Structure 1
Amino acid sequence: MFNVRVYGIMINEQKQVLVSDEYIRGGYYTKFPGGGLEFGEGTIECVIREWQEELNQQVEVVEHIYTTDFFQISAFDNKTQIISIYYLVNPLSPFTAKLLDRPFNFIIPEGVTEVEGARWINWEEFSAEAVTLPIDKVVADLVKARY
């Protein structure tokens, strides 16, 4: 079984990288904004839809950054292989998403299993250590080397 995930990397004019801090099923994760590919959808359509849904942000895809080239089991079900695709994205509308001022600075209501919030990480502080998931760590290193 495969799970295809599609993510967008945004770097602003201040050379900051946008990440999403998420509480998912009892765990805390810092990852890139994006999510699961839906049946009948292309990967570029997916990243555009995910940014609209999660951040109310219109984006354009600038270039492909990376597609997973190693085996990665899902952190959530331990039986699904994850394939992640990453694109560099630029905003097409003003950035208006509510931002966190520090990691995981949100309230988790009773009975809620997923909460998320976005924040910018300064370039000097951005690295593989700034994100949680194994594939994101590979991509963070690529982004630091390339941009």
Structure 2
Amino acid sequence: MACFNVRVYGIMINHLQQVLVSDEYIRGGYYTKFPGGGLEFGEGTLECIKREWQEELGQDVEVVEHIYTTDFFQISAFDNVTQILSIYYLVRPTSPFTAPLLNKPFDFTIPEGITEVEGVRWIEWEDFNAEAVTLPIDKVVADIVKAKY
């Protein structure tokens, strides 16, 4: 049975004009994406982005503005039956940024039997573009971010 998966992501640009991305190993694949995740039942999108950033980064954020909501059909890369609907917000920190940073893409080890590992890193503005991220919707958003900010 086909269903929808609503995803909510935050775009953070620091004072050095660097963009935060998450490098993730998921079920045998490597993905560079924006920090965020799945909307839980009973949760609003603003609550979701705050929860996801707190869970993944220990980071308190506030939403500055809405950037984009998916306006085309996108099937999930993970199950081929779920339609993905992603919502992106520009966020800024409301607590000190203390998340451990990767020095280079996928600079982590994957323990035996583990199916998901993630880490975050900053991408320099001049190196940030649609090719810097993996997923199709993120590529659209990267172009929007480059044009808008």
TM-score range, shorter chain: over 0.9
The structure 1 segments of at least 4 consecutive aligned residues displaced by more than 2 Å after TM superposition are none
Aligned to 2:41: 39
Map 1:33-72; keep pairs closer than 5 Å. Answer: 33-72=35-74
Aligned to 2:96: 94
What residue identity is the alignment partner of 1:50? E
Give the superposition deviation at 1:23.
0.0
SS of the residue aligned with 2:37?
Answer: strand
Residue segments in structure 2 that go unaligned for 5+ positions in a row? none
Q: What's the % identity of the aligned pairs?
A: 83
**2:108 counterpart of 1:138:** no
Aligned to 2:24: 22
CA RMSD of superposed structures (Å)? 0.2
Structure 2 CA distance, aligned partners of 1:130 and 1:12? 17
- 1:112-141 deviation digits (Å, cap 9, x = unpaired): 000000000000000000000000000000
Aligned to 1:77: 79
**Structure-2-length-normalised TM-score:** 0.99
**Structure-1-length-normalised TM-score:** 1.00
- 1:5-30 deviation digits (Å, cap 9, x = unpaired): 00000000000000000000000000
The number of residue pairs the alignment matches comes to 147
- 1:90-111 deviation digits (Å, cap 9, x = unpaired): 0001100000000000000000
SS of the residue aligned with 1:12?
Answer: coil
What residue identity is the alignment partner of 2:64? V
